[in-house]
Structure 1
Amino acid sequence: MAYVPEDTKWFVADLVEEIRVEGHRRNIVHINTVLIRATTPEEAYARAVERGKASNQSYTNSKGETVSIRFRGLRHLDVIFDALEDGCEISFREKLGVSEAAIEKLILPKEELEAFLPIRDRPGRPDYSSGEVMAELLREFTTPPPEA
């Protein structure tokens, strides 16, 4: 078993969920990285699975198609050694024998980092947005026409 300090308070987990939209052949898979408060690996595992199962749901999108979200399992579960604060290490990936060219490919310019990318349409992707939420957004942010 991995080393887990006695004062452990947090774990990081990758939850795999599959999204299916009625009438579409292709599925969508999300790998959601979440914090899990726990003091042992067993407790962290149980809480991560519980959180994943809580995401199971079905709803209707704005086109009237049924969207089903199903938790499929865990991809990653590890202890966080540092106290949670600005700059603490949450997780790491190790690579061995990496060439200079491969290292350069790992590094993205600022404008290509996800936080700086514009919201974009992804053609061919099934619409898994909630119809109820989209209708609420339209009501909230659409200006009614002026009265004549």
Structure 2
Amino acid sequence: MAYIPKDAEWYIAELVIECNVEGNPHNVVHVNIVLVRASSPEEAFEKAEELGYQENSTYLNPKNQTVTFTYRGLRHLDVIHDELEHGAELMFEEKIGICESELKQMLTPKSQLAIFLPLKPIDPSKPDYSSKEIMDEVAKIVN
């Protein structure tokens, strides 16, 4: 088992959620990274699974197609060693023997970071998993 500090109370979990839209052959998979507060790895696992199962849902999109979100499982679960504050390390990844060109490929210029990219137009081939109920409410507000 990994090293777990005695006073550990925070864990980080990667939940894998699959979305299927009726009539569309393509699924959409989300990996949601969430914080889990627990007093042991076993409790963290149970709480992470609970969070994942809470993602299960079914509703209609604006085209009256059934949209289904299904929790598929955990991709990763680990303890957070630091206290949660500015600069706390949440996760790390270790790679050994990386050459300079590979290392440079790992870096993303500021202008290409997702947070700074403009919104993209909706790709018509992408499954529409928006909620009809919510979109109808938005239409009422905007119109």
Would you say same fold, with TM above 0.5?
A: yes
Partner of 1:12: 12
Q: Percent identity?
A: 48
Matches within 5 A, 1:69-80: 69-80=69-80
Which letter does structure 2 place at the counterpart of 1:65?
A: Q
Instruction: Give the deviation of 1:133 after TM superposition.
Output: 1.0
Find the aligned partners of 2:109 and 2:91 in 1 and give their Cα distance.
22
Find the aligned partners of 2:84 and 2:138 in 1 and give their Cα distance.
34
Q: Work out whether 1:68 is the aligned partner of 2:68.
A: yes
Classify the secondary structure of the residue corresponding to 1:15: strand
Compare CA radii of gyration and give the structure with the larger one: 1
Classify the secondary structure of the residue corresponding to 2:136: helix
TM-score (norm 1): 0.93
Higher mean displacement: 45-54 or 112-121: 112-121
Instruction: Give the deviation of 1:139 after TM superposition.
Output: 1.7
Which letter does structure 2 place at the counterpart of 1:129?
A: S
TM-superposition CA deviations, 1:86-108 (whole Å, max 9, x none):
11110011111001111111111
Classify the secondary structure of the residue corresponding to 1:13: strand
Instruction: Give the deviation of 1:135 after TM superposition.
Output: 1.4
Find the aligned partners of 2:3 and 2:67 in 1 and give their Cα distance.
40
- Give ranges in structure 2 of 5+ residues lacking alignment: none
Matches within 5 A, 1:1-148: 1-120=1-120, 121-140=122-141, 142-143=142-143
Higher mean displacement: 131-140 or 89-98: 131-140
Find the aligned partners of 1:19 and 1:113 in 2 and give their Cα distance.
25
TM-superposition CA deviations, 1:93-138 (whole Å, max 9, x none):
1111001111111111111101111121234210001111111122
Classify the secondary structure of the residue corresponding to 1:122: coil
Runs of 4+ in structure 1 over 4 Å off = none
Instruction: Give the deviation of 1:19 after TM superposition.
Output: 0.2
TM-score (norm 2): 0.96
Which letter does structure 1 place at the counterpart of 2:128?
A: D
- Give ranges in structure 1 of 5+ residues lacking alignment: 144-148
The total of aligned residue pairs comes to 142
Classify the secondary structure of the residue corresponding to 1:128: coil
Which letter does structure 2 place at the counterpart of 1:21?
A: V
Root mean square deviation of aligned Cα: 0.9
